[in-house]
Amino acid sequence: MPAPLLHIESSADLPREADAVVIGGGVVGVFTAYYLARRGVRVALLEKGRVAAEQSSRNWGWCRQQNRDARELTMATKSLQLWENVARETGKDTNFRRCGLLYLSQDESQLATWEAWRDFARTAGVTTFMLGADEANERGKATGRQWKGGVFSPTDGTADPSRAVPVVARGIMAAGGSVHQFCAARGIELSAGRVCGVVTEKGTIATKTVVMAGGAWASSFCNQLGFKFPQATVRSTILAVSPGAPELPAALAGPDVAITRRANGGYTLAIAGRARLDPTPQQLRFARDFLPMFARRWRSLSLGGLEGWRQGHETLRKWSLDDVTPMERNRILDPRPDMAQVRLTYERACKFLPEMRNLSIANSWAGYIDSTPDGIPVIGEIEGLPGFILAAGFSGHGFGIGPGAGHLIADIITGMPPIVDPAHFRPERLQTAAWGKVAEF
């Protein structure tokens, strides 16, 4: 079932030539093309289905610094500022608001972890407040329960996943770039070992620079080019309830369930980290790379079925550039939600916040979250493939940092000083399994 989404128009004609071509109309590809277009770069964005129809409209909308891994924290902080700027720059509202994120807990060890993070975050100039029992009970009074404590991050916020990315995509066109929906990139053309064009289902665009921001499809695309990108997806289910209960916190995570107010006054409900693992050929290929990640997360994962195989995003098959590809057969990755989890999430939410009983389930959907083995995205040019930049593997937290990631890629392409140090995101780290620790979520 698709998530609510603002549909936008496409540009008229596919250009024959561009300074840069961005593949993938999710938050990462769209912000990349947006910053390139604003710098006067002739950029074309290709999206096989609709802009933001995959992960970038299916998420909770949290834009957070809270609990970020150190490697991503600066990008998260800068992204919050960029989220704010984009409304001013485009004159359109993404519904980004610094509403603050509230976490409540009964668990001493979890509170100690948050406290340690708070101390670390302070060194990076990020302010977050630990809540004692009284304050947690006050802020969490809608739960009607007693809490040992919590944390509140006042400068974090949420944006509206149903419209934020489409609004920015319109900003690409307003700045002189072009956006082509229902136009899959089938592959890359090389000349003397470097990128010289992108082959699409509607013709070829000559270009020296390509950004692959294809989310869950990135690894199978890289496989066509002989580049090994260890990537795995898990199927995460989420539901929306009808508008009401306006006094509930805008973004609240409890031990069993999290709620987020949507722009229409309803809420999305989800269980953090809970997902289904649908086996695919690609998962088997990279199983060893993901062992440390799965060892850490196995409690919240359960075995799914053949859904991932059926969707085709993790195929190992090589395709031909002059024939229909898996991306054209599946315009929008729209996996089946786990209905048992929908019921469980709603029950938990009603227990957590009694007022939730007055709100009925309006919709539910699922999304494949694409991850790297260390839970940190890959952003950078691939060694040995000049002109090919990979930006994928945002590991369940890419919506909030999409603006910073797009800005960084535009910096790399235009030779500007990078908005954040790109070293942590180097694609090569995953080739040697020398990536360091798996990110905490």
Residues that bind ligand FAD (CB under 6 A): 23-29, 46-49, 53-56, 58-62, 184-185, 213-217, 221, 236, 238, 327, 367, 369, 392, 394, 396-400
Closest contact distance (angstroms) between CB of 205 and ligand FAD is 12
The residue among 184 and 240 lying less far from ligand FAD, judged by its C-beta, is 184
Task: Tell me the backbone φ, ψ of residue 71, rounded to 5 degrees.
Answer: -65, -20
Question: Strand 301-303 to strand 275-277: parallel, antiparallel, or no bridges (unpaired)?
Answer: parallel
Least Å distance, CB 132 to ligand FAD, is 27
The tokens describing 188, both together, are 């890359």
Nearer to ligand FAD, 47 or 278 (CB): 47
Nearest residue (beta carbon) to ligand FAD: 26
Task: Tell me how far, at minimum, the Cβ of 245 lies from ligand FAD, in Å.
Answer: 20
* Closer Cβ to ligand FAD, 137 or 349, answer by number: 349
CB of 377 to ligand FAD, least distance (A): 8
Q: State the residue for tokens 């919240």.
A: 300
| Between 53 and 137, CB nearer to ligand FAD | 53
Take residue 135 and report the two structure tokens written for it: 């304050």
Read off the amino acid at residue 157.
Answer: G
Give the HSE-up count for residue 161: Cα atoms under 13 Å, Cβ half-sphere.
28
The least distance separating ligand FAD from the CB of residue 336, rounded to whole angstroms, comes to 14
- Tell me whether residue 34 or residue 394 sits nearer to ligand FAD (CB atom): 394
156 vs 289, beta carbon nearer ligand FAD: 156
Measured between alpha carbons, how far is 81 from 385 in angstroms, rounded to an integer?
33
Instruction: In angstroms, give the least distance from the CB of 134 to ligand FAD.
Output: 29
Rank residues 26 and 387 by Cβ distance to ligand FAD and give the closer one: 26
Alpha-carbon distance values, 211 to 41, 144, 145, 324, 354 (Å): 14, 49, 49, 21, 47
Q: Which is closer to ligand FAD, CB of 49 or CB of 150?
A: 49
Q: How far is the CB of 389 from ligand FAD (least distance, A)?
A: 13
Which phi and psi angles does 90 have, rounded to 5°?
-95, -15
Which is nearer to ligand FAD, 137 or 275 (by Cβ)?
A: 275
CB of 200 to ligand FAD, least distance (A): 8
Is residue 235 within 8 A of residue 276, CB to CB? The reply is yes
Nearest-angstrom CA–CA distance, 81 and 420:
13
Helix (H) or strand (E) holding 180: strand 178-180
- Minimal distance, residue 108 CB to ligand FAD, in Å: 26
d(C-alpha 319, C-alpha 315), whole Å: 10
Residue 24 or 137: the one with the smaller Cβ distance to ligand FAD is 24
Angle formed at CA 275 by CA 97 and CA 292, multiple of 5 degrees: 105
3-state helix, strand, coil in the chain (%, to 5): 35, 20, 45
Phi-psi region of 311 (alpha: psi -120 to 50; beta: other; left: phi over 0): alpha
Q: How many Cβ atoms sit within 10 Å of the Cβ of residue 317? A: 11
How many Cβ atoms from other residues are within 10 Å of residue 286's Cβ?
A: 20
Cβ of 339: how many Cβ atoms within 10 Å? 11
Asked if 99 and 259 count as a contact pair (C-beta separation under 8 A), the reply is no
> Checking phi first, is residue 261 left (phi over 0); if not, alpha (psi -120 to 50) or beta?
beta
Nearest distance from residue 364's CB to ligand FAD, in Å? 11
